[in-house]
């Protein structure tokens, strides 16, 4: 079973038995590692986008969680794109080749320095839907197993 983040993990985990909680902890750890990996990629892309004394660099680094995604980023740069173009190409490719760890429910932070030297911050973290609430995973006051992990209620956008 692939690790999935719930929109509100504390709503379900306190009601789980020890064995279920151990599995949830392992899945949460895997998800946390994936999140740090994605943040690392965003940081690398930010470093590649930094201007260097007003001229374009001929060399750089593209990092991604899958070879095809890295190649998509390289292709974007080879065609005259910038680091943001490469990041978009990588993200879209990861959505296809590594769909369980990318796309809906994922997130990103990015700092971009424009050619004029301005810093722009993008917050691409997912949020719970507007109608989400603390008890949405409970029925008759009891946690419903899996409701926070599978289906429409498990999605952050």
Average pLDDT, rounded, for the chain: 72
How remote is the C-alpha of 30 from its chain's centroid? Answer: 13
**Model pTM score:** 0.48
> Concatenated DSSP letters for 30-64?
HHHHHHHHHHHHHHHHHHHHS-BTTB--S------
Over residues 51-102, the pLDDT tens digits come to 555 445 677 788 888 999 999 999 998 888 888 888 888 888 888 888 777 7
Containing 91, the helix (H) or strand (E) segment is helix 83-97
Q: Of 98, 102, 75, which Cα lies nearest the Cα of 86?
A: 75
DSSP 144: P
**Which residue(s) pair with 111 in the sheet?**
121
Which of 156 and 56 is assigned the larger pLDDT?
156
């Amino acid at each position: 079973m692939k690790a999935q983040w719930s929109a509100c993990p504390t709503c379900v985990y306190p009601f789980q038995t020890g064995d279920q909680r151990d599995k949830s902890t392992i899945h949460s750890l895997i998800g946390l590692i994936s999140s740090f990996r994605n943040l690392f990629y965003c940081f690398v892309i930010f470093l590649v986008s930094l201007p260097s004394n007003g001229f374009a660099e001929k060399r750089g680094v593209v990092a991604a969680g899958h070879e095809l995604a890295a190649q998509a980023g390289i292709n974007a740069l080879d065609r005259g794109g910038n680091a943001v173009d490469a990041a978009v190409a990588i993200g879209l490719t990861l959505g296809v080749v590594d769909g369980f760890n990318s796309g809906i429910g994922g997130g990103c932070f990015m700092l971009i320095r424009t050619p004029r030297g301005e810093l722009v911050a993008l917050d691409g973290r997912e949020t719970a839907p507007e109608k989400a609430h603390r008890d949405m995973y409970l029925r008759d006051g009891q946690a419903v197993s899996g409701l926070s992990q599978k289906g429409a209620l498990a999605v952050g956008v």
